[in-house]
Amino acid sequence: MELSYKIIVVRSGILLILFVFTPVAQAALISDLLITEVMADPSEVSDLEGEWFELFNPMTESVDLNQIYIKDDGYDTHQIDHGGPLLILPNQYFVMGRNEDSSANGGFTADYVYSSFILSNAGDEIVFSNDADGHDELLRLDYNSNFDSKGRTRELTREGNYQLTSLKKTYGLGDIGTPGYSSSASSSIATIPLPPTGSLLMFGLYFCFLKKICER
């Protein structure tokens, strides 16, 4: 009887471990995305050719951008019309730029090319919205004139700040940035979600309980 009891306890523990460490799929939203890097003022090519910004999906499900509006607080507006789903996969860095030709845009690969939207060097906004007027806003970045640096991007850190990209990180013709891959920031964005603290605590308590049971 005592042995059967221990077996039941151990099996229950296995189920608990599976519950704690198995990711639970959550519906991913555009508001879950992160704007991780911005090149507002390239130096090797013109702004018309070389502007871009990068998104990152930290969720466990893909996010569809099709039919969403990219805009600022002024007159720039572009509706994404991909002819079907435009998916950002889990843990994917996704580059949106003004020119898809890597031989003319400074040397980056654009996952999507937009028009009628520019990144001002004097400060601007990057807004994702369900409507052209921006009343149903989903994601937003505001920056001022001190944000951009000629030929150098700013990258998002884990703390939520934007810092200049490391001078060692060049791409294409020589501008500084990391389009389409992980940030050079010292506290880069985590791509692997950790179990919630509460779940880890439950697992720890159970482990102590199991140890005492098995010692009997």
Q: How far apart, in whole angstroms, are the C-alpha atoms of residue 34 and residue 46?
A: 26
Please name the residues in contact with 38: beta carbons below 8 A apart, sequence gap of 6 or more.
52, 53, 54, 119, 126, 141, 143, 147, 148, 153, 154, 162
**Maximum pairwise Cα distance, the chain:** 79
pLDDT of amino acid 183: 75
Q: Which CATH superfamily is domain 30-176 in?
A: Lamin Tail domain (2.60.40.1260)
pLDDT of amino acid 148: 93
pLDDT, tens only, 22-38 = 444 457 899 999 999 99
Question: Three-state secondary structure along the chain?
Answer: CHHHHHHHHHHHHHHHHHHHHCCCCCCCCHHHCEEEEEECCCCCCCHHHHCEEEEECCCCCCEECCCCEEECCCCCEEECCCCCCCEECCCCEEEEECCCCCCCCCCCCCCEECCCCCCCCCEEEEEEECCCCCCCEEEEEEEECCCCECCECEEECCCCCEEECCCCCEECCCEECCCCCCCCCCCCCCCCCCCCHHHHHHHHHHHHHHHHHHCC
Q: How far apart, in whole angstroms, are the C-alpha atoms of residue 40 and residue 51?
A: 5
Neighbours of 136 (CB within 10 A): 10
Write out the two tokens for 164: 């200049």
CA angle 143, 147, 148 (to 5 degrees): 120
Write out the two tokens for 157: 């850190």
pLDDT of amino acid 194: 43
pLDDT, tens only, 99-132 = 999 999 999 999 999 999 999 999 999 999 999 9
Q: How far apart, in whole angstroms, are the C-alpha atoms of residue 63 and residue 26?
A: 11
- Domain positions in the chain are 2-23+195-214, 30-176
pLDDT under 50: residue ranges of the chain: 1, 5, 7-10, 14-25, 187, 192-201, 203
